[in-house]
Structure 1
C-alpha cells in the first residue's frame, strides 16, 4: 500500500473517530470523493480491504487505523 493511501486512511479514521466516537464504522469508500477520479488507488484500497484482510463492508475506524499502523 502506498504511503499516500496509508496517510489518507489514518487521516479519515482520526476525523471520523473525533466526530462520532470509537464505535464509528467506515467502508473503504470513505477514503475517496464521491466520484471515481483515481481508479487505481480505489482498487488498491479495495484489494487491501477485501482480498488481503477479508473485512466486512463496514468496519470500526479504530480497527482499520490499527491495521494500517501495524
Structure 2
C-alpha cells in the first residue's frame, strides 16, 4: 500500500470515528471525492479492500484503521 493511501485512509477513519463514534461504517469510496480525480489511488484502494482483504461493501472504520495500521 502506498504511503499516500495509507495516510489518507487512517486520517479519514479517525475523522469518521471522532464525528460518528466507533460503530461508524464506511466503504472504500469514503476516501475519495465524488468525482474521479485520482483513479490510480481509487483502484489501489479497491484492490486492497476487495481482493486483498475480501471485505464487505461497508465495514467499521475501526476495523479498517487497524488493518491499514498493520500494513508493512
TM-score by length of 1: 0.99
Query: Counterpart in 1 of 2:20?
Result: 20
Aligned-partner Cα distance in 2 for 1:38–1:17: 24
Query: Counterpart in 1 of 2:2?
Result: 2
Cα-Cα RMSD: 0.4
Aligned length: 70
3-state SS of 1:10 partner? helix
Could you report, residue by residue, the CA deviation over 1:32-61 in whole angstroms, capped at 9, with x for unpaired residues?
Answer: 000001111100000000000000000000
Moved over 3 A (4+): none
Unaligned runs of 5+ residues in structure 2 are none
Alignment of 1:1-70 (within 5 A): 1-70=1-70
